[in-house]
Amino acid sequence: MRACICILLAGLLAACQESQPPEVFVARVGNAFLTQAELDTRLASLAVGLDTTEARKQLIDQWITSELLYQEARRLRLEAREAVRDRLEASERAVLIEAMVSQVHAQASAVQTRSDVTAYFDTNKERMRLLEPFVRIRHISSSSRDSVELAAELLNAVPPSAADSLFDILSTRFASDPAASHALSQNYYPEARLFANQPEVRSVVGRMTPDMRARVIASDNTWHLLQLADRAPVGSIPQLAWVEDLVVSQLNIETRKRNYARTVQKLRTEADAREEIEIR
């Protein structure tokens, strides 16, 4: 816990230098103040399960110690020492360079359009072949056995061509979470990541094939209708909707790299034109 708290102190020191005393504060050293809001923000960022009373005491005590040392260093003008000045300048350079790179990346991420995403997917979908099976599932869960069994009976009575449209009606009427049922029936998801907390349901889905009738099973006092609408095997080329988050992430990474390279080249070209770069 001490390590977590120490990481926060640098931010606290900078945030608590007030030109005017705040109306409410929890600690003061000279003209520096630690406010309750600032302390609460730092406490909220600590790991869950820590003793907040003890953490609060340690954070305040260490802030006071650090502020005393900081103010004494300023009084002694230690920043004027060459070694200290060099370190401060190096830190400033690193922070500013990081901020500039972040700005370049943010600009690249902000310009992505739907057509950009689609074009990137069309160009790269061959190398996005599935590494695990993806499935489309018809799933209704409910505490009512009668409702789930009725939904399964109705679903099994229609031809496969009508199953999706009927399922939309049945899930809206009987599912405890219609939105989740609709999502599973309308898109493909990695099979291994579905029903992670319901091993009985996952096991049944793993044994299903798309030609099987809808089944009803009980798990954890809940009744489940299950039918495998389709399974895309390993090696299949996915549809964009299945992997859109991955596509957007990869497109952002590549766009950032290109934007970074263009920015650096532009800066270099401009500096060369001003004869500001010299290599010996």
Rounded to the nearest 5°, which phi and psi values hold at 33? -130, 140
The first and second tokens of residue 109, run together, are 């991420």
From the CB of residue 4, how many other CB atoms can be counted at a distance below 10 Å? 15
CA–CA separation, 21 and 17 (whole Å): 9
> What fold is seen in the domain 130-232?
Chitinase A; domain 3 (3.10.50)
Can you give the pLDDT at residue 47?
65
Q: 52: Cβ–Cβ under 8 A, 6 or more apart, which residues?
A: 43, 46
Taking 70 as the pLDDT cut, the residues of the chain under it are 1-19, 47-49, 109-111
Can you give the pLDDT at residue 82?
95
Q: Where are the domains of the chain?
A: 2-82, 106-125+239-271, 130-232
Q: Which of 122-154 are b and which e, b meaning 16 or more Cβ less than 10 Å from the residue's Cβ? A: eeeeeebebeebbbbbbbbbbeeeebbbbbbeb
Share of the chain above pLDDT 70, in %: 91
